[in-house]
Structure 1
């Protein structure tokens, strides 16, 4: 149930009635229009009453939402609340005219966007994930205003995916014809296949596009941001960290409703964590919408716009001026140029690693991949300690110039080894672990919601911490990252996959004989991303987010990890997700604990090394 208003402006219903009367007076009408403006909250449609995620049914092979979307459960209480928070101006997310992207009502997905759809199946979804934690109870009004500003400033949050480009063309043609005749556009007949996403016959993956054309972005006239927002008033099971992580894992594993824009938000109140969190806001967006960098940039420019009451374009321009032409400084970036010889060596290294060194850690015996996900995040490590390690172990004599990303990856590598020792039955047989490292190709100053991501696989040594000194681990990570920087392969993959994925007929994992090849490849690596977050805590209205965590999509392969590292408010933290099976229940927690332990060991070694140097 929503909390009762503490102001003196009357009940929510009274405020809604007064607001509608005021709008009618401004428009010279005696009553509000029967048809709401595009993307305005429908008055005749009550908003949802939430229910805890933990009470949701377990997802079966045929995807079924684990948390009922906000628009599907209704209550009179939320109806009056929706009236009270009815957006009044274009700044709050509503306008008389559709809030269209500059590309129009209907336009094709890029190849990389379409690839994110083609890879999805009943047990896998390409999701980018963010969690904000607050020591205050995040209120409904603040949540709605943020997402309304976000959708107004970045129209792509108001577009759905039409998987069949021919249907998109027919519906747009019918809409234009009705518009010319002054008639109401025909209503969409939404089927269960529309919600679930049509599937290919053999691989059961998303059937994105026709054989030779990608899917289409289509403006969703009948959509409002509240349709994709779920509010849980009281976190189940006491609201501690374990309860929050259970809710987050179930929300993460829920598949999207393809009849609506491909993003969802979950606000959880009634928390009581050890860090003092009282509420959380969790946002997940399909990777087809954008890469992680674009999403983070959109969230925080929208927050800056709300805080300063300025257009998002002004916030973007201000950021561009501060960062010299808008260039995003990526961790570990160096002026190393790719070469032909470096590309050749990297190609051989990748092929050998994928096909001659099968991994054994973090496996589970069940044949099909589990559809559920587990989630955990770590405490923060101060950025000063990360910089201390970099300073202590960089060695100009050996041409070892460590980056902050090298240090982060070395801590991660050591943490994965420690976690394997704590969770695996028997000795650790792996000598290395494969990590897919995303690489951004986003042009300087580009704020578009789209995918500019490629990447490469790095093999980090699985050294026993008792036998190998920290310096050797850091040197090995630095060599692996340098190997990627000297290779043209990330650019080749970005161009080739971008072209192939526009044509579903050329997407080989969909065809008999190739699926096994790609499944064998996917399972060899986990995905880990390291992104720079805001240097200062961000605020949602009056609510400051003291903690912020992110996750990239995992690999489509069974038993692979999704690992997100982020620097936020002068702290560096880790979030982990893996498949929800009995044998891996402890794994995310142990990786996060091992990450803290490895960082503490490395900081102590750094202090000792610097003291000895003096």
Structure 2
């Protein structure tokens, strides 16, 4: 533990930042600010290697051996030492499941997730879980969001593995980005090569007098046509550029106003109550209305489930087949499938519970975390905020390929609008990191916290995991799942994570009788929806390929 003592002064005595303190103050027994990850293995782990890894974790990341204390109305808490005899082993729990199935593992995880941290100890826990079928084991990580954002925590715990190098992973990501950029420049290099060959040919022709007169006339004609062509191209270019800019600005302004309306509405509601206090019973406070909402208090009990791994090649096939010419990302595809899954579940639930015609169009509000980190920044800190994306999920149960393409295009456009938004940047740097850092008493009251957390249907986060097989505790990791904190009642916590060229979705929901087994049902619906989308993409690619082949054959027959 000497190495831990040497590293403690770097963080000891420092105040929590505004963002750290916001997550610390947002903690509520019914919606915990807990980031969770589980690693799966086919064999038992070596306890000694685990303890050595945890000791190194505390030595290199001091927040794993400190607690926030001594907060006041005018000062954020200070990173302090825990109780005197604390060791990292106090945060280690060994558990043997009573059942050997994955369902038992998920129930145990949900049970532990719902437990608040002991604020006298560092705000993290690890659970070594045995008793799974065929000797499989699991390793559960829990950490409070006030310690760091999801990227910082995941990179820190992954640094305990024996085959994960954050610097090397970043280098690989930068190389992939550079490779994509260089591939995009091949056409430009070929164009320059063709122009150079043409210039050389013109110089060669100039040496022959018989070509000179004809060539001068040809050059004058080409120059005149070139000027006309350049002028026409400029007119078209500026028209399209102006139109695209107008559309983009319109979408951006609409998004900013829509987001601001969500932020201002509870204040207007409170003002209305103050003005109409004598007749407030006639003007009761309106609650955010959305699907999967219920009137009771948010449940303490939670549900956790996840999907099987999905190959990146299948997602790339969807991007190519249904992207519609847009540069849609992996995140866009998975968010589109998730939106379809929620819509399908809501329609089925409405039909079964109310015996009424289900809504043809379900509008979703989903929080997207936005990181302000540099690519090589792996420090334990909160450099994240979020923005809301609104999605209209369609107008029919059986989605045609055209509608799927339209939905994917909508998701991509609105995600780009979210990323361009200046509101998260302003909220992070101006309000949270400055005002809440030095005036923590300005934190919103509890009724307003309930309002804001009840607005979104889900929180959807994306974490990039290791690209190569990773070892921990002497064994290779075979599964990797991540869960962000949950918002208000009825909302869904969604974690998208990649590992070894595969991705999976994990979900956490409330355990409420109105929506039984919600997490597991949503995961099953997600798998079905992805298979349907993949089939549509494959069919479209096959049709495009066969169409090109038929066209080539027709051209060949015509030439002959």
TM range, smaller chain: 0.7 to 0.9
Tell me whether 1:395 sits opposite 2:324 in the alignment: yes
Matches within 5 A, 1:221-240: 222-232=85-95, 234-236=96-98, 238-240=99-101
- Distance across 2 between alignment mates of 1:519 and 1:596: 32
Tell me whether 1:119 sits opposite 2:12 in the alignment: no
CA RMSD, Structure 1 to Structure 2 (Å): 2.8
Per-residue CA deviation, residues 435-490 of structure 1 (Å, 9 max, x unaligned), is 10001101232221010111101112233441452112111111211221232112
- Distance across 2 between alignment mates of 1:216 and 1:418: 47
Q: What does residue 433 of structure 1 align with? A: 364
Q: What does residue 297 of structure 1 align with? A: 155
- Distance across 2 between alignment mates of 1:547 and 1:124: 26
Instruction: Give the C-alpha shift of residue 534 in structure 1.
Output: 1.0
- Distance across 1 between alignment mates of 2:441 and 2:262: 29
Structure 1 range deviating more: 491-500 or 448-457: 491-500
Instruction: Give the C-alpha shift of residue 316 in structure 1.
Output: 4.2
Q: What does residue 89 of structure 1 align with? A: none
Contact 1:454 1:494 in 2 (8 A): yes
Tell me whether 1:258 sits opposite 2:192 in the alignment: no
CA 1:603–1:154 in structure 2 vs 1: closer, same or farther (change >3 Å)? same
Tell me whether 1:106 sits opposite 2:34 in the alignment: no
Q: What does residue 507 of structure 1 align with? A: 443
Contact 1:127 1:287 in 2 (8 A): yes
Matches within 5 A, 1:129-278: 129-162=36-69, 164=70, 209-220=71-82, 222-232=85-95, 234-236=96-98, 238-272=99-133, 278=136
- Distance across 2 between alignment mates of 1:573 and 1:97: 35
CA 1:326–1:569 in structure 2 vs 1: closer, same or farther (change >3 Å)? closer
In structure 1, the residue corresponding to 2:477 is in which secondary structure? strand
- Distance across 2 between alignment mates of 1:524 and 1:151: 37
Per-residue CA deviation, residues 378-404 of structure 1 (Å, 9 max, x unaligned), is 1111111011100112233xxx22111
* Gapped regions of structure 2 (runs ≥ 5): 180-243, 266-285, 546-560
The match for 1:561 among 492, 496, 500 is: 492
Instruction: Give the C-alpha shift of residue 536 in structure 1.
Output: 2.2
Q: What does residue 360 of structure 1 align with? A: 290
Per-residue CA deviation, residues 369-423 of structure 1 (Å, 9 max, x unaligned), is 2122111111111111011100112233xxx221111111111111111222344
CA 1:287–1:466 in structure 2 vs 1: closer, same or farther (change >3 Å)? same
Instruction: Give the C-alpha shift of residue 581 in structure 1.
Output: 2.2
- Distance across 1 between alignment mates of 2:176 and 2:316: 24
- Distance across 1 between alignment mates of 2:428 and 2:318: 33
Structure 1 range deviating more: 470-479 or 346-355: 346-355
Instruction: Give the C-alpha shift of residue 218 in structure 1.
Output: 1.1
- Distance across 2 between alignment mates of 1:594 and 1:342: 31
Instruction: Give the C-alpha shift of residue 363 in structure 1.
Output: 2.1
In structure 1, the residue corresponding to 2:14 is in which secondary structure? strand
Contact 1:108 1:217 in 2 (8 A): yes
CA 1:297–1:465 in structure 2 vs 1: closer, same or farther (change >3 Å)? farther
In structure 2, the residue corresponding to 1:493 is in which secondary structure? helix
Q: What does residue 418 of structure 1 align with? A: 344
- Distance across 1 between alignment mates of 2:290 and 2:102: 30
In structure 1, the residue corresponding to 2:160 is in which secondary structure? helix
In structure 1, the residue corresponding to 2:122 is in which secondary structure? coil
Contact 2:107 2:303 in 1 (8 A): yes
- Distance across 1 between alignment mates of 2:342 and 2:156: 32
CA 1:570–1:325 in structure 2 vs 1: closer, same or farther (change >3 Å)? closer
CA 1:343–1:536 in structure 2 vs 1: closer, same or farther (change >3 Å)? same
Contact 2:43 2:136 in 1 (8 A): yes
- Distance across 1 between alignment mates of 2:41 and 2:174: 32
Structure 1 range deviating more: 354-363 or 422-431: 354-363
Q: What does residue 405 of structure 2 align with? A: 471
Per-residue CA deviation, residues 215-248 of structure 1 (Å, 9 max, x unaligned), is 111133532111001101x201x22122111100
Q: What does residue 498 of structure 1 align with? A: 433
Instruction: Give the C-alpha shift of residue 154 in structure 1.
Output: 1.3
The match for 1:524 among 455, 465, 468 is: 455
Instruction: Give the C-alpha shift of residue 538 in structure 1.
Output: 1.4
- Distance across 1 between alignment mates of 2:378 and 2:159: 10
Task: Tell me the matched-pair count.
Answer: 447
In structure 2, the residue corresponding to 1:501 is in which secondary structure? helix
- Distance across 2 between alignment mates of 1:459 and 1:423: 21
- Distance across 2 between alignment mates of 1:96 and 1:387: 45
* Gapped regions of structure 1 (runs ≥ 5): 1-93, 165-208, 309-314, 330-335
CA 1:384–1:316 in structure 2 vs 1: closer, same or farther (change >3 Å)? closer
Tell me whether 1:344 sits opposite 2:344 in the alignment: no
CA 1:293–1:375 in structure 2 vs 1: closer, same or farther (change >3 Å)? same
Say which structure is richer in helix.
Answer: 2
TM-score, normalising length: structure 2: 0.74
- Distance across 1 between alignment mates of 2:174 and 2:102: 40
TM-score, normalising length: structure 1: 0.68
Instruction: Give the C-alpha shift of residue 317 in structure 1.
Output: 4.1
Greater RCO structure (CA 8 Å; 6+ sep): 2
Contact 1:130 1:550 in 2 (8 A): yes
CA 1:434–1:130 in structure 2 vs 1: closer, same or farther (change >3 Å)? same
CA 1:566–1:321 in structure 2 vs 1: closer, same or farther (change >3 Å)? closer
- Distance across 1 between alignment mates of 2:494 and 2:178: 21
CA radius of gyration, larger in: 2
In structure 2, the residue corresponding to 1:107 is in which secondary structure? coil
